[in-house]
């Protein structure tokens, strides 16, 4: 839950930026047997964020499949276990479309620990 709070703080600090955040919740722990509760979803209340429940790990599977074919793709240093990507943040350039995995500007985790690197990537990336 620290990652969701960290993302909410990041959005508050960048309230003037045209950012879009997709939050993908997926079952990773034994206790993750149902979608996130309202109180969990409320941790990220910024209107620029959209939250999704992915019980079959479709996003993680697509990351695995497409990252292998993306040359120069940064690889996260953590958060890959039992074939599942989790607790990561990925930053893409503005107007990026997902046909096959586009190159990421930043990809790392766990979310709560990599916010400074994400901040730098946001600052350094084109508007």
Average of per-residue pLDDT across 17-23: 91
pLDDT at 46: 95
Peptide bond into 83 cis (omega under 30): no
Average predicted confidence (pLDDT) for the chain: 86
Chain centroid to CA 81: how far? 16
Average of per-residue pLDDT across 11-36: 90
pLDDT at 125: 79
pLDDT at 71: 54
Over pLDDT 90: what percentage of the chain? 43
Give pLDDT tens digits for 65-80: 776 666 566 667 788 8
CA dist 66 and 6 (Å) reads 27
Reported pTM: 0.85
**pLDDT surpasses 60 at 18:** yes
pLDDT at 35: 94
Give pLDDT tens digits for 36-70: 999 999 999 999 999 999 999 999 988 887 766 66
**pLDDT surpasses 70 at 28:** yes
């Amino acid at each position: 839950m620290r990652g969701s709070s960290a993302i909410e703080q990041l959005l508050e600090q960048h309230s003037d930026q045209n950012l879009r955040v997709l939050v993908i919740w997926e079952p990773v722990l034994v206790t993750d047997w149902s979608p996130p509760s309202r109180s969990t979803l409320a941790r990220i209340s910024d209107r620029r964020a959209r939250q999704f429940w992915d019980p079959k790990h479709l996003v993680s599977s697509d990351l695995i499949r497409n990252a292998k074919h993306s040359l120069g793709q940064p690889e996260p240093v953590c958060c890959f276990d039992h074939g599942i990507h989790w607790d990561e943040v990925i930053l893409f350039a503005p107007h990026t479309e997902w046909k096959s995995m586009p190159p990421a500007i930043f990809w790392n985790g766990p979310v709560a620990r990599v916010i400074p690197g994400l901040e730098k990537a946001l600052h350094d990336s084109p508007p």
